[in-house]
Amino acid sequence: VLDIKLPGQDGYEVLAAIRRRGDTPVIMVTALAEDLDKLQALRIGADDYVVKPFNPLEIVARAKAVLRRTMGRGAAEVLRVGPLTVDPQAYRASVNSPAGPVALDLTRTEFRILAHMAANPGRAFERAELVDACMPESEALDRTVDSHVSNLRRKLSAAGADGLLTAVRGVGYRLDSING
């Protein structure tokens, strides 16, 4: 449970830091009732938002609901798309080559984009969707994704998975299970 108004710091910054470190469920409880405050908290990664004053029984019910939704979320399975293997828990990605697995040295954002796309292989993702899903604490522009995807494509190609991550004209990008 986190308030936006904290002594000496901003609750949004605390929430962003929590999200950078993991998936700890967070319920914002605050006196700020404006829609913009709610939307910003949810965009950054809050699981729920409750305005003060509130009924304590409601907080308990909401906490139980958030825990129900997030139970098992930490047990993410290893994702495989063609020669690519992505382990969201270990923050590891590799490409299976004839000589054995080739580890990919990815930035946090590159890994998030790759893992998000690997969870839905063959699906076309719009740039804005990748920004929202993979960089929620950022005010990044849609075109920022292009830079990250370019780096990902270069790294995948160097590891022997050329053509795995493709551009979809007028839409964004898709991860296909070619090569395997």
CATH number, position 106? 1.10.10.10
Considering its fold, how many domains does the chain have in total?
Answer: 2
Cβ proximity of 146 and 89 under 8 Å: no
pTM: 0.59
Q: Kindly state whether residue 180 falls inside one of the protein's structural domains.
A: no
| 120 and 150 housed in the same domain | yes
Domain edge (last residue) among 16, 46, 70? 70
pLDDT band at residue 21, thresholds of 50, 70 and 90?
A: confident
| Residue 68 pLDDT | 77
The predicted pLDDT at position 76 comes to: 58
Q: How far is CA 74 from CA 68, 114, 148, in A?
A: 12, 18, 25
**Residue 117: CB atoms within 10 Å:** 29
* Cross-sheet strand order for the sheet of 165-168: 124-126, 172-175, 165-168
Top-confidence residue, 28 or 136: 28
Are 130 and 139 in contact, with CB atoms under 8 Å apart? no
Q: Please report the pLDDT score of residue 140 as a whole number.
A: 67
DSSP helix, strand, coil percent of the chain (3-state; round to 5): 40, 25, 35
Q: pLDDT band at residue 117, thresholds of 50, 70 and 90?
A: very high
Average pLDDT over every residue of 125-132 = 87
Position 26 in a domain: yes
pLDDT of residue 143 exceeding 50, the answer is yes
CA distance 85 to 155: 14
Model pLDDT, residue 72:
56
